[in-house]
Amino acid sequence: MKEPLISILCPVLNEADNIKNLVQSFSLDNLEKEIFFIDGGSTDNSKEIIEKVRIHHPNVFLVDNPQKYVSPGFNKAFALSKGKYISFLGAHANYPNGFFENAVKYLLSGECDAVGGPLIQKGKGFWGEIIAECMSSKFGVGGTEFRTSRTKQYVQSVAFATYKREVFEQAGLLDESLVRNQDDEFHYRMNSMGYKILMVPEMQCEYFVRSSPKKLFKQYFEYGLYKPKVLFKIKESVRIRHLVPSAFVMYLVASVFLFSAFPIVLLPMFAYLIGAFASLVKSKLSSAQKLAAVYIFFILHIAYGSGFIKGLMIVRKQ
């Protein structure tokens, strides 16, 4: 096998139904690649399927990640990789034709040091469709460009990016103390060192969101929990959107105690509800789903905000 141009690093956990599709998706072009599936402790037969796939695809490798979360697994696979470019991809996404050619084109152009595309959030079932809609909304996730915009632009962070290998060699690998927000922290570190991250519409991916409110709450609570550590580490990355959910949580708590004496305290809540419904006016969700979407907005903001507050308390004690 020729030396790979691109090393694809893809964390997996119980992806038995998806492994073969991922290999096919990663192999749509003629670029030389190596594919590392980083297994975080699958309890289905994901590992067996990867080993079978390797019989016909010798460029596919299995990396065991006993620590389970992403950072140590990525770092372990990076040490094994040989590609000039590193693609850090997720298993819950569909990648378009031309994804890797476009990545190489932009990295060779000198416009950027890392490149990725916007996400089209997709959901399955009643709750999945609602969650996808809310995570595509600026009211739901703020100004996160790769979730809410489709235009070519330089960004702070982007999902499923491809990087020049030397970026990791100069900036370092992923922070293994982070269970969440590892890619955000790395991107902020890149920004602070002058590296450029570009988002281009040609690399737009479909991302499949969580399928239930409970799973969404856990996801966003963890996002909030680890964000303060990232922001304390790289202070210039702080944005207003990072702080708004925690302020909202504090407002809700204060309202419980103040309402009997100062009913006017509910005015911001009315404004919140108006904003939530206004953001759904053009949505294709059913009327019932739009009502449920307000509940999902609450979950997004309360989960992230309460996680952020707890994370801030932990960081201040350290």
Query: Which residue matches tokens 């959030």?
Result: 121
Interval 257-285 mean pLDDT: 93
Residue 225 pLDDT more than 60?
A: yes
Average pLDDT over residues 265-284: 94
- Provide the pLDDT for residue 1: 57
* 52-61, 137-146, 210-219: range with highest mean pLDDT: 210-219
Q: Chain-wide mean pLDDT for the chain? A: 92
**Confidence class for position 184, pLDDT limits 50, 70, 90:** confident
Q: Which residue from 296, 315, 184, 309 is spatially nearest to 248, judged by alpha carbons?
A: 309
Q: Higher confidence at residue 143 or residue 100? A: 100
Is residue 129 very low, low, confident or very high in pLDDT (cuts 50, 70, 90)?
Answer: very high
pLDDT band at 183 (very low <50, low <70, confident <90, very high): confident
Helix orientation angle between 287-317 and 267-279, rounded to the nearest 10 degrees: 120
Check pLDDT > 70 for residue 251. Answer: yes
- Identify the CA nearest to 249 among candidates 310, 312, 306, 175: 306
**Tokens read off for 193:** 């060192």
| Per-residue confidence (pLDDT) for residue 143, from 0 to 100 | 75
Tell me, yes or no, if the pTM score tops 0.85: yes
- Rounded Cα distance, 251 and 256, in Å: 9
Q: What is the mean pLDDT of residues 224-229?
A: 91
Report d(CA 318, CA 308) in Å as an integer: 15
Cβ–Cβ under 8 Å, residues 109 and 196: no
Do 280 and 198 contact (CB within 8 A), yes or no? no
At position 284, the amino acid (one-letter code) is: K
Percent of the chain at pLDDT > 90 equals 71
Domains of the chain: 1-91 (3.90.550.10), 235-317 (no CATH)
> CB within 8 A of 17, min separation 6: which ones?
none
Q: How far is CA 278 from CA 67, 180, 206, 291, in A?
A: 43, 31, 25, 12
- From the CB of residue 285, how many other CB atoms can be counted at a distance below 10 Å? 17
- pLDDT computed for residue 24 by the predictor: 87
Q: What is the pLDDT of residues 71-88, one digit of tens each?
A: 999 999 999 999 999 999
What is the torsional sign of CA 220, 8, 189, 195? negative
Residue 216 has pLDDT above 80, yes or no: yes
Q: What pLDDT sits at residue 242?
A: 82
**Predicted local distance difference test score (pLDDT) of residue 140:** 92
Q: How many CB atoms lie within 10 A of CB 30?
A: 8
**What is the percent of the chain with per-residue pLDDT over 70, rounded to a whole number?**
99
- Which of 36-50, 142-156, 224-238 is predicted with the least confidence, judged by mean pLDDT? 224-238
Cα separation, 75 vs 307, in Å, equals 26
Average pLDDT over every residue of 60-72: 93
Residue 2 pLDDT greater than 80, yes or no:
no
Q: Are 56 and 28 in contact (CB under 8 A)?
A: no
Higher-pLDDT residue of 233, 158: 158
pLDDT of residue 240: 79
The CA distance from 228 to 224, in Å, is 7
